[in-house]
Structure 1
Amino acid sequence: MLPLPTLSTTILTLLLYPLAKALYNILFHPLSSSKIPGPTSWSASRVPFLARLLRGTLIHDLEKLHLKYGPIMRIAPDEVAFAHPDAWTEIMQPRQGKRQFLKDAMWWSTPNNKSMMNAIDVGDWARMRKTLTPGFTKGALRMQEAVVQRYVSLLIERLRERVHAASSGGPDLDPDKRKGVTVDVFPWVNFLTFDVFGDLGFGESFRCLENGRYHPWITLIFDNVKGIAFVNAAKYYPALDWVLQWCIPASLRKVQEDHFQHVVDRVQRRMNWEVVREDIMSHLLKEAKENGSTGMSMDEIYYSFAGLTVAGSETTATVLGGVLNYLSALPEKRRIVVDEVRAAFADEGEITLSAVEERCGYLTAVVNEGLRLCPPVPWVLPRRVPEGGETVCGVWIPGGTAVSISQYALNRSPSLFHQPSSFVPERWLESSTADPSSPFYRDHRAAVQGFSVGPRACLGKHLAWVEMRLCLARLLWGFDVEEREGRALRWEELRTFLLVEKKPIEVVLSERDMA
């Protein structure tokens, strides 16, 4: 037992240390000399930031704070957030004569840091990206359009079954309009995107659409979204992180191992196929055959495909859900895009990717507006300023500082967009971008980067556009989609735990009148 004076000194030190640390952060931290505005409590301690992260309100709180403090704001003792359009180029893009801002190891480094997404070393990342890129090019995806079409057709078939079942007065029949069926579309668009990636990535879908429910592997991801936020928060306090890791029960570790083994099994089954077909994995196999190696270790392939499954599916479904939510609540916008799609195609079989791209300009504007208001990654994880410091958006930032992009606040900035919180696809039309008299002429459309920019921009961007265009075109061609009396979500109220919270998007779905 410690002597009483020693015990008192220890207690006093423990009590005073946080206060001394907070005063240092406010007055003497290298970032303090930059005079960057921000709430004092956030500059003093990481606690306010982490509290909002764990509550799921971080992006909304950052939006409010940016409105008060401006587009460049200190949000932690060692972090600056940007809601400035130039941040995309100055943080994410390599610039001549400038050192790269590397991914923040606090968020990306893991015990099994073997995936392309988690790779911090530029050389490791470049090697893996080069290996995976051929499967995601526009040309490759056009050859795989039939796969996407097959699952969109299955989605349409499943939804038609629900409409037909309800037409006889089943429990899902809309009680207000006595027509159509009330459907929560969020799970269905998730079923679509996960099944598509399962097929293209592993040669077999997750059979979500077929079974009308999530595969257990996917359910585990969604069930642990909040837990992932806690794990990341704990990294800022090593002692707490150690306790958290020590407290993980053996049963949960077994679940994690089984979860990863599911990916391993799928990858191995696909790599052992004798049938030749074009998909994401086929390009790795082709390189292995020609050069004797894929350029990636098997662990790197396993971990990369596990990450790509989520990154290439959940994010696309978020935008699709957001678009359908807004269209259901805005009949005037819905009517414009529905009329465009139905006028463009006399038969559902005519709806191909190239035809949608060519004939459906308003639908493309709808997707772009969905990316603006419902960004799949509302807060862009931090990069670290290189040693020696660097200027970002005209402000000097000391080396080692974390810099992040508040994409949600940026996309809704009243200084960058007319009617910033309103769903207005017209801002993306050529008539708005080329006409100085348009209220949207001065909108900073380049500020919206739903797939990020630079070398580490989203690898699945083209796949996402294929899915979104084909899914929306065929849904709106075949169904009438309306809001269930007052049931449209307020997107602004959805919490975010790195991934956007999934709440029901209930719409009234009925087959279009072909008469």
Structure 2
Amino acid sequence: MLDALISTSSFEKGVFWLCALVPACLFANALYNLYLHPNLVLFCDPEAHAAIYGMKSNVRRSTFYVGLTKNIREKTTLNAIDPAEHAQRRKILNRCFTDQSTTAVSTFVSQHIDRWHEILLDKHNSTTEWSTSTNLVEQLDHLVFDIMGDLCFGRSFNNKEPGDNPLKEVPQNIIQYLKFYYPMCRSPFLSLIIWLKPRGLDRLVELITPPPVQKFNDFVFDSVTKRLELYKKQEHIPERERRQDMFYFLCNSQDSSTEHAAYTEDELRAEASLLIIAGSHTTTASLASIFWYLVRAPRCYEILVDELQKTFKTAEDVAYGPKLMGCTYLRACIDEGMRLVPPGPCESPREVLAGGLNVLNDHYPAGTIVGTAPWCDSLNLDVYEDPGVFRPERWVVDDVAGVTKAMVAEIRTNFHPYLTGPGSCAGKNIALAEIHLMVAKTLLRLELRKTPGSTLGEGSPEMAWGERSRKHFQIVDAYISVKQGPEVQFRKRPVPEAISDRA
């Protein structure tokens, strides 16, 4: 039955399989090490994760990643399954994500957040009355997409600005893009699909591509074309005067073995598509989860606001650095939100290489596909006493509360929102900086509450098993976590002096 559920396409709700259904199956599999396919084994254990995704693990990315490509010509860091090729591409990509670049980009991230708050407060500036209800995830999509535009291409797409803008469709087009290609990766006929891709299948898929998917492809093509024109125009001016965004570093990279450009134009377009998807929807999923749980946990909400107000006088004082990153409860809320809703809910499959791999005292021969699923890891009863509960305190060492360093260290061995090892997210430091800035500035500038009566994002008794909890933010797996909500109301937070005067 499990094999049937995992192998058979189900396009109900427009996805290959429902996150609430399949992770329930994956969870059962992970608990009992059941085989879902003849050559696939998934685990739910921190030691298994370390064995599979470690720096020296005898594995490579599976052909799942080849299936995820739009066409077989696309070569990116994501779909490079040869370990040596992946290491070379990752080395180049890492140049875009240094500590220096994280500090540099945090300035314009803050500017985007400040402008977003300004737009919200232009619509509703009261400190006493609540605003009308808003689906926060839609607002977050626009904000994060603008940030990614600045980060990747040196220009904001102005999605968060009021008024019509055809690019406001792009975040949803990205979801449709993944829903279109993701089923191919999960198909039991993946090997045949990969064989057929250069033999006419890529062309056929291009012809039947749904309009929203084609719009996303066109958007990437147009964005890269414009950025390449700027890059070529600036080739003869001093380097310090050029626009040095991530795309600049990709264009400027050289293959050390040939001393030629590291990327072809097709590969630049493919990497740009990857960066947009990886940098926008994954961050939005984390932010949506954090706010969804916070507005349903008033005690946690108040503790966090209190910590932020004791650390920063106003939202304008919040800047990326040790002061912000040292906010213990803020980091705990962020980690807890990402635990309950991982940016990518299902496994990153790895193929065992010649010589085999030992996992939990069992030997798996070459060709076996192994992995751990973050969605399952987040609900591991052997690691978390109450895995379905939003409890940030589990991440904070507190002798009075009985939370020791050893206890926190243990749960951290099971927490990998950005994966680990050679396949870890290159931009995780920028993503974390963005999330810290967003949560801190928002809660210092705005008061938030769940829209009274709203159930958006909740489960319900009428839904399938695994989707019924009203206390768990529901997501759908499309390689990324697809989500809806939270619905919130906001009002301007009074400055501390105003609060004292009002009291």
**TM bracket, shorter-chain basis:** 0.7 to 0.9
**Cα distance in 1 for residues equivalent to 2:174 and 2:9:** 24
Count residues with an aligned counterpart: 462
Is 1:422–2:389 an aligned residue pair?
yes
**Cα distance in 2 for residues equivalent to 1:405 and 1:74:** 13
Residues 54 and 220 (structure 1), Cα distance of their counterparts in 2 relative to 1, 3 Å cut: closer
Q: Which residue of 2 aligns with 1:262?
A: 222
**Cα distance in 2 for residues equivalent to 1:63 and 1:86:** 21
Residues 277 and 441 (structure 1), Cα distance of their counterparts in 2 relative to 1, 3 Å cut: closer
**Cα distance in 2 for residues equivalent to 1:185 and 1:455:** 34
Please state whether the residue corresponding to 1:181 is helix, strand or coil.
coil
Q: Which residue of 1 aligns with 2:465?
A: none
Bigger relative contact order, structure 1 or 2, given CA contacts below 8 A and separation 6+?
2
Q: 1:58-457 maps to which residues of 2 (within 5 A)?
A: 58=19, 60-63=21-24, 66-67=27-28, 70=31, 72-95=33-56, 99=58, 101-109=59-67, 110=69, 111-164=72-125, 179-211=130-162, 214-234=167-187, 236=189, 248=205, 250=207, 252=209, 255=214, 258-272=218-232, 274=234, 275-284=241-250, 287=253, 293-354=260-321, 356-431=323-398, 435=402, 444-457=411-424
Contact 2:342 2:374 in 1 (8 A): yes
Please state whether the residue corresponding to 1:403 is helix, strand or coil.
strand
**Cα distance in 1 for residues equivalent to 2:421 and 2:331:** 23
Contact 1:451 1:458 in 2 (8 A): yes
Residues 407 and 287 (structure 1), Cα distance of their counterparts in 2 relative to 1, 3 Å cut: closer
**Cα distance in 2 for residues equivalent to 1:355 and 1:439:** 24
Q: Give the superposition deviation at 1:122.
A: 2.1
Q: Give the superposition deviation at 1:207.
A: 1.6
Q: Which residue of 1 aligns with 2:463?
A: none
Contact 1:136 1:459 in 2 (8 A): yes
Contact 2:48 2:372 in 1 (8 A): yes
**Cα distance in 1 for residues equivalent to 2:486 and 2:339:** 19
* Farther-moved stretch of structure 1 (58-67 vs 502-511): 58-67
Unaligned segments of structure 1, at least 5 residues: 1-40, 169-176
Relative to its length, the structure with more helix (as a share) is: 1
Q: Give the superposition deviation at 1:76.
A: 1.8
Cα offsets for 1:25-48 (capped at 9, x unmatched): xxxxxxxxxxxxxxxx33589635
Q: Which residue of 2 aligns with 1:47?
A: 7
Contact 1:479 1:512 in 2 (8 A): yes
Unaligned segments of structure 2, at least 5 residues: 235-240, 459-471, 499-503
**Cα distance in 2 for residues equivalent to 1:328 and 1:182:** 13
Percent identity (aligned)? 23
**Cα distance in 2 for residues equivalent to 1:179 and 1:358:** 30
TM-score normalised over the length of structure 1? 0.80
Q: Give the superposition deviation at 1:68.
A: 7.4
Contact 2:292 2:473 in 1 (8 A): no
Corresponding letter in the other structure for 1:279: D
**Cα distance in 2 for residues equivalent to 1:398 and 1:124:** 23
Corresponding letter in the other structure for 2:474: E
**Cα distance in 2 for residues equivalent to 1:339 and 1:58:** 35
Q: Give the superposition deviation at 1:50.
A: 6.9
Corresponding letter in the other structure for 2:242: V
Cα offsets for 1:340-382 (capped at 9, x unmatched): 1122111322111115435521111111111111100111221
Q: Which residue of 1 aligns with 2:461?
A: none
**Cα distance in 2 for residues equivalent to 1:80 and 1:434:** 38
> Which of residues 464, 477, 480 in structure 2 aligns to 1:496?
477
Query: Alignment RMSD, CA only?
Result: 3.4
Q: Give the superposition deviation at 1:210.
A: 2.2
* Farther-moved stretch of structure 1 (220-229 vs 245-254): 245-254
**Cα distance in 2 for residues equivalent to 1:334 and 1:258:** 41
Please state whether the residue corresponding to 1:430 is helix, strand or coil.
coil
Corresponding letter in the other structure for 1:230: P
Residues 215 and 492 (structure 1), Cα distance of their counterparts in 2 relative to 1, 3 Å cut: closer
Cα offsets for 1:382-435 (capped at 9, x unmatched): 111113432112222232111121211111111101211111111111226995
**Cα distance in 2 for residues equivalent to 1:180 and 1:299:** 46
Please state whether the residue corresponding to 1:444 is helix, strand or coil.
helix
Q: Give the superposition deviation at 1:236.
A: 1.7
Q: Which residue of 1 aligns with 2:238?
A: none
**Cα distance in 2 for residues equivalent to 1:211 and 1:292:** 46
Please state whether the residue corresponding to 1:136 is helix, strand or coil.
coil
Flag the structure with larger Rg. 1
Residues 69 and 445 (structure 1), Cα distance of their counterparts in 2 relative to 1, 3 Å cut: closer
Contact 2:341 2:473 in 1 (8 A): no
Please state whether the residue corresponding to 1:384 is helix, strand or coil.
strand
